[in-house]
Amino acid sequence: MIRNIAVIGSSGAIGSAMVRQLAHVYPDAVLHAFSRSGCAQSGGGIVGHSLDMESEDGIAAAAEMASKDMPLDLVFVAIGMLHDREVQPEKALRDLSAEKLQRLFFVNTILPALLMKHFLPKLNRKERSVFAALSARVGSISDNRLGGWYSYRASKSALNMIIRNAAIEVGRRNKQAVIVGMHPGTVDSALSQPFQSNLPAGQLFTADHSAVKMLDVLLSLSSDQSGRCFAWDGQEIAP
């Protein structure tokens, strides 16, 4: 039974959609919604919290706060970065810079790793529990046919390895834990907006549609699937 939930990155398109879906499916659960500015959604069991993602002390305090009354049954990390005003995806080696690599690795790999460090020990050990972080199909090395997007691809590949490592470690003492990466599909959001024109019809999802599909997948997974990466449709993404 899912009684206590945390969503980190709850103000983004996917994070806010996941908060809405979880609140709908589990109206009696406590839902901790963490974001830099605090979750705008409220009502029911939703409790909004501000979280400075760049402070490990803040992350540790958030994990303690969310689990002080009962262990966490589901944690969903909805943070990620592909581009902003200063950083654009690299098309070639000549576009690489230390600054771009550091920025994307910090958001896509280091922050989720620190969240795992502090939230995974708070998962329920008596019943099935789930920790999921947004990953991406382009983080698959074996699936890479186009190249480009060096920092984003590499940072998501690194995230997938950290998820695998964490699943092995946590699985030794929490046999029912499920720790996975999730590919949400191409979601209509600020992250995908510059790249939507080349998409075939039917391949652009609303955030709410993606959240529904991802939650269905997360609820279907078992502990022997921990450490892997799955797409919104339940298909496993090859490393």
* Cα separation, 154 vs 108, whole angstroms: 9
* Cα separation, 166 vs 116, whole angstroms: 8
Task: Give yes or no for a contact between 104 and 155, defined as CB atoms under 8 angstroms apart.
Answer: yes
Residue 180 DSSP class: E
- pTM confidence score: 0.93
Residue 147 DSSP class: -
Q: How confident is the model over 119-148, as pLDDT tens digits? A: 999 999 999 999 999 999 999 999 999 999
* Cα separation, 219 vs 221, whole angstroms: 6
Indicate the CATH number for domain 4-231.
3.40.50.720
pLDDT band at 193 (very low <50, low <70, confident <90, very high): low
Q: How confident is the model over 202-234, as pLDDT tens digits? A: 677 899 999 999 999 999 999 999 999 999 999
For residue 99, count other CB atoms closer than 10 A to its CB.
11
Task: Select from 92, 111, 201 the least CA-distant residue to 156.
Answer: 111
* Cα separation, 75 vs 92, whole angstroms: 36
Percent over 70 (pLDDT), the chain: 92
Task: Give yes or no for a contact between 217 and 168, defined as CB atoms under 8 angstroms apart.
Answer: no
Q: How confident is the model over 9-65, as pLDDT tens digits? A: 999 999 999 999 999 999 999 999 999 887 656 667 899 999 999 999 999 999 999
* Cα separation, 3 vs 165, whole angstroms: 27
pLDDT of residue 41: 62
Q: For the chain, which residues make up each domain, given as ranges?
A: 4-231
